[in-house]
Homo-oligomer: A and B are copies of this chain.
Amino acid sequence: MPRIRIDAARLNRSLDELGRFGETPEGMQRIAFSPADIQGREYTIGLMRQAGMEVRIDPAGNIIGRRPGSEPGLPAIAMGSHTDTVPSGGKYDGALGVMGAVECVQTLTDSNIALRHPVEALVFTNEEGTSFHRWLIGSRAMAGLLEAEDRDPVDDVGVTLTTRMADIGGDWPRAAEATRRTDELAAYFELHIEQGPTLHQSGTPIGVVTGITGRATFEVEIIGTANHAGTTPMTHRHDAMVSASKLVLAINKMAADLEICRVSTVGSIEAHPNAVNVIPGTVKIGLEFRDLSMDALAAGEKELRRAAAQICQEDGVRMEIYRHRFTNSVPIENEMQDLVEAASNQAGLANMRVPSGAGHDAQAIATITKMAMLFVPSTDGISHAPQEYSTPEDCANGTQVLLELLMLADDRL
């Protein structure tokens, strides 16, 4: 049974209030660095201060709220997520992890409970990467994972990241100073909505995240022969659209039937000349597959190349396969998963292990400290859309488990 209880009504009120910044009939538009984002950040800072935290903004624009610990010299236990949204996004992605973290601290403060470790609530800058087409900007800065191309990019309207960072209290030329030493943090916990249907459909309130999946992205250019759609007999065609369609189905089968990897998707397509009366000469598709196992991604690439070669032979077309990016999977240590499970049991809530198909700030922070994640159900698995919804009870359950996790970690770490 829980030792202390978070205030479910207060948590959901905070979520609703944060959700008013950037709310439109087409969904949330709290894009990083926008006025709505800045309002949401100010709202969050206010809540942190109410909960008794000292607040600072690091050079990468990350908001760091801190509550002191009782035992001198211990590293902090951090919790957090992000408050920016994708365009036409939902009210829960990121927001729950931040409002949950603040609620945990408020509950501790209200109950006059001192923890041994300092506790931090973190809001990471531009997790979604909508601005500057670079994601996890804040968490990668904190983890020391910035790359040369992150130095001072310009956004779609021509404004530099340095300027945008100044708007939110950051100081981008000094971003390197946002990096934290591994001895500063004892652990990082992120509560998030699942963004998939598994918990909702199985009726399980808590997901113990087993890891964040790796991702392989490719572009394939299928090169056939453009020709007159009326005069070219079927037997003489090298129709890039037909060959591309076969490849789309082979890629889908890779995860759906062969189970070579967890998911595989062809998300984009472009045909040339793309006229109804011309046999397509060239088709480009963009695809990805994801799995917790990097071996599975390698096997996926092998199957992609095998299927492509077979179709080329059958159809007399050529294919160029461009290997774009392999993002490493981030497994979560068994002991950290067990800690989430123990916290869930402590809260009296059923749980199951689930992988995270999406990326999160946690994957960057995992490089500098121990990391765990927990999920709550997403109704119908919908996310990054206005229909994104987790019930007030689900949000409260997740936050209660986050508090149990914090207290367990304070005891054990």
Chain B proximity of A19: nearest CB distance (Å): 20
Interface residues of A in 196-247 (CB under 8 A from B): 196-198, 213, 215, 217, 226-236, 239, 241-242, 244-246
Q: Which residues of B contact A196 (CB under 8 A)?
A: 228, 231-233, 236
Pair B276/A268 contact, Cβ less than 8 Å: yes
- In the complex, what distance in Å separates the CA atom of A242 from the CA atom of B251? 9
- In the complex, what distance in Å separates the CA atom of A246 from the CA atom of B247? 11
Q: Which of B266, B276, B290 contacts A286 (CB 8 A)?
A: B276
- Please tell me which stretch of A58-66, A115-123, A172-180, A381-389 contacts chain B, meaning at least 4 of its Cβ atoms lie within 8 angstroms of it: A381-389
- In the complex, what distance in Å separates the CA atom of A383 from the CA atom of B198? 54
Pair A359/B231 contact, Cβ less than 8 Å: no
**Interface majority SS on A: helix, strand, loop or mixed?**
mixed
Q: Which residues of B contact A249 (CB under 8 A)?
A: 242, 245-246, 249
Encoded as 1 (CB less than 8 Å from any B CB) or 0, chain A from 238 to 273 comes to 010110111011001001100000111111110100
Pair B276/A195 contact, Cβ less than 8 Å: no
Q: Which of B217, B359, B381 contacts A232 (CB 8 A)?
A: B381
Asked if A97 is an interface residue, CB under 8 A from chain B, the answer is no
Chain B proximity of A29: nearest CB distance (Å): 16
Pair A233/B276 contact, Cβ less than 8 Å: no
Chain B proximity of A245: nearest CB distance (Å): 4
User: Contacts A267-B278, A267-B280, A274-B269; is A230 near B245 (CB within 8 Å)?
Assistant: no
Asked if A287 is an interface residue, CB under 8 A from chain B, the answer is yes
Asked if A165 is an interface residue, CB under 8 A from chain B, the answer is no
6 A–B contacts from the bound complex (CB under 8 Å): A198-B233, A213-B230, A227-B385, A230-B290, A231-B383, A234-B255
Q: A228-B383, A269-B271, A276-B286 are in contact. List 18 more A-B contacts (CB 8 A).
A: A195-B230, A198-B233, A213-B230, A226-B385, A229-B267, A229-B290, A230-B263, A234-B264, A239-B265, A241-B266, A245-B245, A245-B249, A249-B249, A265-B276, A267-B276, A268-B274, A275-B286, A276-B288
